[in-house]
Structure 1
Amino acid sequence: MEAQVLAVLRQAPGPVNAGWVLDQLGGDLAYTTVMTILTRLQAKRAVTRERVGRFFEWCATSDEAGLAALRMRRVLDAESDREAVLARFVTALSPDDERLLRDLLNLPEDGAED
């Protein structure tokens, strides 16, 4: 559900309220469910909110890839042996993913390509 809400926010014309998100999602979701999802996404820094009158307007700050990266970071932060976790993660990658990771790690530290 988080990914769906994030996708809706990324397609929004600008900051929107939870009611707008609920309308875009359709289905049988409750308003409180949408608010819970938005609040969780805010805690993950995937969205921001700003009070406008009595309501909040929400805006995506991350895409689905960013949300997945945040989840991966939380898992890594929860482990005491980061080196072992990272080593096992890398050894479980497919050859194509390993090659991609190596290419990404060879970028300059600021992440910009020359």
Structure 2
Amino acid sequence: MTPQHRRARRGQGELESQVLGALREADGPVTAAWVRQRLGGDLAYTTVVTILTRLLAKDVVSRERRGRSFVWTPTADVARLAALRMRRTLDGERDRVAVLTSFVTALPPGDEQVLRALLDSVESGDAAEGTPRPRGDGREH
């Protein structure tokens, strides 16, 4: 296969996000074959099952046996999956303070304000009532 004919490789976590997104669009529990078809069918069935199994281990989907196969249901959204990836990355670093410092200092002002509001709500105990939402996309224009 020539380089021009190879499909672009998906970024780390991108396929998990796509699979979870497809599950969230479903009207109810669906099979791996349905997810594969929803994503365009260019993935191997076994790849889809592997991704679903990884999502199950991360507790963002559930499965139920139906006949000889499983049906899958999302238990979290893509934001939760992204947060889990962020946490896993942070947990894998020795110097958490340096990683967090680098992350926070690189935030654009709008995201920094959202993060400050979230931290304030956790400290005051308001986090259970809901997450502060930025106006627009959370960035200053």
Same fold (TM over 0.5): yes
1:65 alignment partner, one of 79, 88, 104: 79
Instruction: Tell me which residue corresponds to 2:52.
Output: 38
Q: Distance in 2 between matches of 1:38 and 1:110?
A: 34
Match for 1:45: what amino acid?
D
Matches within 5 A, 1:73-112: 73-107=87-121, 108-109=124-125, 111-112=127-128
Q: Aligned-pair distance for 1:27?
A: 3.3
Cα displacement string for residues 27-64 of structure 1 (whole angstroms, at most 9, x for unaligned residues): 32211111111112122222111222221111111211
Instruction: Tell me which residue corresponds to 2:35.
Output: 21
Q: 1:53 to 1:27 in 2, by over 3 A?
A: closer
Q: Which has the higher contact order (CA 8 A, sep 6+)?
A: 1
Q: Unaligned regions of 5+ residues in structure 2, if any?
A: 1-14, 131-141
Cα displacement string for residues 66-86 of structure 1 (whole angstroms, at most 9, x for unaligned residues): 111110010011112222211
State the Cα RMSD in Å. 1.7
Q: Aligned-pair distance for 1:9?
A: 0.2
2:22 alignment partner, one of 8, 32, 35: 8
Match for 1:103: what amino acid?
A
* Structure 1 ranges of 4+ moved more than 3 A: none
Q: Distance in 2 between matches of 1:92 and 1:43?
A: 31
| Structure ID, larger Rg | 2
Q: Distance in 1 between matches of 2:30 and 2:78?
A: 18
TM-score normalized by the length of structure 2: 0.73
Q: 1:57 to 1:110 in 2, by over 3 A?
A: farther
Match for 1:93: what amino acid?
L
TM-score normalized by the length of structure 1: 0.88
